[in-house]
Amino acid sequence: MTVRPSLEYRLGDAWSADESRREFWHLALRLASPASGHLLAASEAARVAALQMHDVADLAPLAEAAANVATDHAGRWSGADARYLAFLLAAATARKYRYDAMACIDALACDLARHARAADDVDLALVAAQLPVRAAAALNAVPGRAGTLGPQPRLSTAWPWP
Query: What value does the mean pLDDT take over residues 153-160?
Result: 43
Residue type, 142: V
pTM of the model: 0.80
Q: Is the dihedral of CA 80, 56, 115, 125 positive or negative?
A: positive
Contact between residue 41 and residue 7 where contact means Cβ atoms under 8 Å apart:
yes
How far is Cα 162 from Cα 159, in angstroms, rounded to an integer?
A: 8
Per residue in 60-73, pLDDT tens? Answer: 999 999 999 999 88
| Domain coordinates in residue numbering, the chain | 4-135
For 22-71, how does the pLDDT look when each residue is reduced to its tens digit (9 = 90+)? 999 999 999 999 888 898 899 999 999 999 999 999 999 999 999 999 99
- 108 and 55 in contact (C-beta within 8 Å)? no
Q: What is the pLDDT of residue 160?
A: 45
How high is the pLDDT of residue 3? 60
78-135 pLDDT per residue, tens: 999 999 999 999 999 987 777 888 999 999 999 999 999 999 999 999 999 999 999 8
Is pLDDT at 162 greater than 60 in this prediction? no
| pLDDT of 158 | 44
Give the separation between CA 127 and CA 132, rounded to whole angstroms.
9
- What is 74-130 written as a DSSP string? TSS--HHHHHHHHHHHHHHHHHT--HHHHHHHHHHHHHHHHHHHHHT-HHHHHHHHH
- 131, 107 Cβ separation under 8 angstroms: no
Q: Which residue did the predictor score with more confidence, 139 or 26?
A: 26
